[in-house]
Amino acid sequence: MTRRLRSDKPCKRAQLDKVSFAMNPPRLDSFDVFASIVRCGGFRAAALERGVSSSALSQTINALEEALGIRLLNRTTRSVSPTEAGQRLLDRLSPALSDIQLAIAEIDELRENPSGTLRINAPAPAVDHLLCPLAFDFMEAYPAVKIELVSDAAVIDIVEQGFDAGVRFGKQLAKDMIAAPLGLPLRYAIVASPNYLTRHGWPMTPHDLVHHDCIRRRFPGGTLVSWKFRNGRDELDINPEGRLTLSSAHNELQAALAGRGIAHVFEEYARPFINAGRLVEVLPDWSPILPSWFLYYPNRRLPSAAMRAFLDHVKSYKWHASTHPIHPAGAPSSKDAGSQ
């Protein structure tokens, strides 16, 4: 019976040590303190390096040794050196501590100097006419920042999908997002080719569109886009009829230019072709002015330096209604427009 009790004592002590370690795990920063003391050769020098008192470091090491259940430092009045256990721990810790310091330095670099990648999700019109010119200028000023623009008309959770920001209309924004106006107010244009209007006639009111082949658009979610009109107090919301249904403004313009029907697109897309005489705007008095797009982003306390710089760039950017930096494929240049 006595022998069994004696043999059980080391086992119980080990179990108690494990329980103590689980309940009071060592702080990660205490390992860095331990490494500093060994590197500096004593508590006083390490305390001066870290800007704290020697007694504070002594308390940290005492707590670390108690949590680990083993002595890490041999201490005399003249010197401090690691025990065998301390040296083994230090040999394993040094690469990890170096990696942690490097990671912190990289984070500091991201915080202080704009770098890294910005991912922004937006509908194609906003990418074409707002984000592309913004991004081109921004990348010139901040060469260390990469930008990824994703054209997507679907309403998504930008945080879940890994985006830094998105662009949508105000009514589509989640309540927990920060939003800032992006660009100027918008306007839709109803356009058709001169050839189409010669063959099918010119609609004088939105009601006349029921007699025309309208080029319809379907959103990614499946909804068909309705055409909204306003003239003074008169407002109309029409679901157009037509044989052709598409999913992008670029394709709608292609169809209109080919004489396949009447298209409903943002004015920025159609203006170069209208100026060149390849498209004609109809019902201009019925086209309402819409609010601008909004750039929105999560309500984060510490945005990256790249995001802060991009937001500042957006706020200071000078928008011009006559500027059309991005033309759809096949659009005439100003030189071509002048020659027609």
pLDDT at residue 155, rounded to an integer: 82
Q: Which of 29-33, 135-139, 273-277, 287-291 has the lowest mean pLDDT?
A: 29-33
Secondary structure class of 62 (helix, strand, coil): helix
Which residue(s) pair with 296 in the sheet?
A: 166, 179
- What's the CA gap between 133 and 314, in Å, rounded? 11
Write out pLDDT tens, residues 155-212.
888 888 889 999 998 777 777 788 989 999 999 999 999 999 999 999 999 999 999 9
The pTM of the full predicted model, rounded to 2 decimals, is: 0.61
Do 284 and 145 form a contact (C-beta atoms < 8 A)? no
Write out pLDDT tens, residues 11-33.
554 454 444 444 466 777 888 88
pLDDT at residue 109, rounded to an integer: 58
- What's the CA gap between 256 and 192, in Å, rounded? 5
The overall average pLDDT reported for the chain is: 83
Tell me the helices (H) and strands (E) count for the chain, helix number first.
12, 15
Among candidate residues 108, 105, 75, 90, the one with its CA nearest the CA of residue 35: 90
CA angle 111, 113, 116 (to 5 degrees): 80
